[in-house]
Chains A and B, each alone.
Chain A
Amino acid sequence: MKKFLYIFFINLFLFSKSFALIEIDITRGNLDPLPIAISPLHVDIKSENYDGIKIKVLGEDISKIIEDNFRSTGLFNPLKKEAFVQKPDIAHLKPRFEDWRLIKAQALVTGKLLVKDGKLKVEFRLWDLAAAKEMTALAFTTTPSNWRRVAHIISDKIYERLTGEEGYFDTRIIYVAESGAKNQRVKKLAIMDQDGANTKYLTLGNELVLTPRFNPTNQMVTYMSYFRNMPRVYLLDIETGTQEVVGNFPGMTFAPRFSPDGKKIVMSFAKDGNSDIYTMELDSRVVEKITEHSSIDTSPSFSPDGKFITFNSDRSGLQQIYVMRSDGSGVKRVTFGKGIYGTPVWSPRGDLIAFTKMHKGKFYIGVMRTDGTGERLLTENYYQEAPSWSPNGRVLVFYRETKSGTKGEGFSAKLWSIDITGYNERRLKTETDASDPSWSSLLSK
């Protein structure tokens, strides 16, 4: 009995001791972008030349793309290569962690590539320098002309490993390329890689084009153009270049968007000054009327699960944003702020809606929860609109026009991107003026 009591006493004290463990709350840290070293990829000496590609510098070119991608996120700080201490081939085998820590890097990317028999083989490793261990390693084989995409895919993998979020580098952006004087703009449909490379023009510019949108597989684009002087929704197959008018509507159709499964198009159809939202199934061409109201209902966008649609309407007097079930029931107004709200777009994550707001002559791009709460205005400018989400729901791309003189001088339209935190606003490189961007989903999915 006594023994038992003793043991009990001792246990009690041990127990109390474990409670007395010192706890320190760390609620703050350093918000600087994570310093990362991206070593040039080592080019295997057995590599053969491939037409048009400089094999010797390919390793450096790929690491440059990765570096640019990372810098553009605002979350990472790629370190200068001059400070690097180890040669790429040795670093790829086993980096000397102390040396890399010395230049204040916290993560390191190494890799090597081989071009042989008309194939490009790339492998890379991501190292945690503080823990002195490998975090991830992958290899890809593809045709050498695809080297830019390989660089983007590697960027995506590293980004995902370091942030916990899917990347968005192996993507494209479709937009309206603009040229000419302000009152005689030539507008062409253009497509480019997310970093501004590989621009291609999809239309000739004879007809005005507006609001291009990708379908989920990135094969098709729907947009608005003119058919017999009437604005109509078009469908374009990017690979084949074939275009067609969507549906047989006796009036103008505009503001199209694909459903998340790509089987439907949702759009506005206007007749006699009243516009309502319709969907059309692409296979069966069955048209369904979704809203029934004497006001202007437009800019519909599906939620990623396909169960809801957000749109804007002036049924309450001023244009505001509404959410309804995808069959048109349960219409609910979600914005009640001052000003005019438009172009709602549901985030691919499903948690937010991005929008354009106009108030007192200023334009804002903002995000809010899907019930309209938690509105955050990310950027304010003279004129900007049409936000489009990156596939991971982290970044918005939109376009911004500058104020022009009476004759249109000084006018420009450019694409910009911003993080949903409101930080890291930057201009996207385009060959010409640009508007109405739409971000594709990941190509390699």
Chain B
Amino acid sequence: MIRSLIYSITFHSLLVILTIVSLPFMLREPIDLPPIVSVELIQITDKTSIPYAPKVRKIIEETKKKEERLVSEQAPPAAKAKEKPDRIPLPNEKKEEKQIVKKKQNPDEIKPEIRQSSQFEKKEIIDTNQIAALIDKAKEVEAVKQKKNDKVTQSSQKNSFATGLTLSQEDALRAQIFGCWSVPLGLPYDEDLLVRIKLKLKKDGTIMKSEILDHQRMNRPGQKFYKVLAESALRAVRLCQPLKVPPTGYDKWKELQLNFNPTEMLKG
């Protein structure tokens, strides 16, 4: 009797623990991610990740120049006259710094080397510029940036937990399919039309298998619109091959589910 009771208790507690630990939806629910606006995000990542290095170089060069100027300014007695034209461009330089900071906010995917270099470069700016006002500014900017950075890492964590892809990886994929999907424009906008497609992918992003999750609905009478939508979604996926999948983590994305929902577009 006692034995079975112990069995029962351990069993039940195990069950509870396992449910909490292993079922992601338990954790996912309270997170409540806002719908992610995508295209802009990717474009910026794409751009920033490529031309970042040259910009950093420029800024480093500029700061070096500043160094030189500062040194030379200390020496000549006619500094006052020169100071003015020198001080005017300073705000510009501040702006440039701000821009860099802004760009850092969005990509959660910046490679570690770049991040390092940017931090290094930032330190350099602060070190070299001994002007009080500028230091203050830099502090403010840094504070803002830190806050924002925190946000990004948080949400990307959530996101990667929920999906297994980072935000920008997901966005890249989504944007690619946006481009391939010719939405059937004749569909009624007030009907509940959602087509879910499950894909099995190869490592290069080509499709091994595509399956419409409730494909029985396609051939039911009165579901012509659903059929049309499902066919258009399949067409989109096929036309998009190979999908833009991340180079790593094949196990995470070898199976994908795409939910095609045209309601928003047809209404607009």
Identify B259's interface contact among A24, A32, A164, A394, CB under 8 A: A24
Q: What residues of A have a CB within 8 angstroms of the CB of B234 in the complex?
A: 130-131
Q: What residues of B have a CB within 8 angstroms of the CB of A28 in the complex?
A: 178, 181, 264-265
Q: What residues of B have a CB within 8 angstroms of the CB of A444 in the complex?
A: none
Question: Residue-by-residue, is A238-278 near B (CB-CB < 8 Å gives 1, otherwise 0)?
Answer: 00000000000000000000000000000000000000000
Question: Residue-by-residue, is B7-36 near A (CB-CB < 8 Å gives 1, otherwise 0)?
Answer: 100010000001000111100000000010
B235 contacts the other chain (CB 8 A): yes
Interface segment, one of B65-73, B125-133, B169-177: B169-177
Interface segment, one of A14-22, A116-124, A337-345, A360-368: A14-22
Q: What residues of A have a CB within 8 angstroms of the CB of B183 in the complex?
A: 29-31
* Closest chain A residue to B228, Cβ basis: A164
Q: What is the CB-to-nearest-CB distance from A97 to chain B, in angstroms, rounded to a whole number?
A: 11
The range of chain B's interface size is 35 or more
Q: What residues of B have a CB within 8 angstroms of the CB of A27 in the complex?
A: 261-265
Interface segment, one of B74-82, B88-96, B184-192: B184-192
CA distance A165 to B259 in the complex (A): 23
Given contacts A16-B24, A19-B25, contact A25 B259 (CB under 8 A): yes
Q: What residues of B have a CB within 8 angstroms of the CB of A31 in the complex?
A: 183, 185, 265
Total interface residues in chain A, CB < 8 Å: 39
> Is B170 a contact of A24 with CB atoms below 8 Å?
yes
DSSP majority for the B interface?
Answer: helix
Q: What residues of A have a CB within 8 angstroms of the CB of B25 in the complex?
A: 19
Interface segment, one of B48-56, B109-117, B147-155, B249-257: B249-257
CA distance A174 to B154 in the complex (A): 65
Given contacts A19-B24, A26-B174, A164-B224, contact A34 B184 (CB under 8 A): yes
Question: Residue-by-residue, is A25-43 near B (CB-CB < 8 Å gives 1, otherwise 0)?
Answer: 1111111111100000000
* Closest chain B residue to A132, Cβ basis: B238
Identify B163's interface contact among A23, A29, A106, A421, CB under 8 A: A23
13 new A-B contacts, CB < 8 A, other than A1-B7, A26-B178, A26-B261, are A16-B22, A21-B256, A24-B257, A25-B259, A27-B265, A28-B264, A29-B181, A30-B182, A75-B185, A101-B239, A128-B231, A131-B234, A421-B185
Of the A-B pairs whose beta carbons lie under 8 Å apart in the complex, a sample of 30, sorted by A's number, is A5-B11, A12-B18, A16-B24, A19-B24, A21-B198, A22-B255, A24-B170, A26-B174, A26-B177, A26-B178, A26-B258, A27-B264, A28-B178, A28-B264, A28-B265, A29-B182, A29-B236, A29-B265, A30-B179, A30-B180, A74-B185, A75-B185, A128-B231, A130-B235, A131-B231, A160-B224, A162-B228, A163-B184, A164-B224, A165-B225
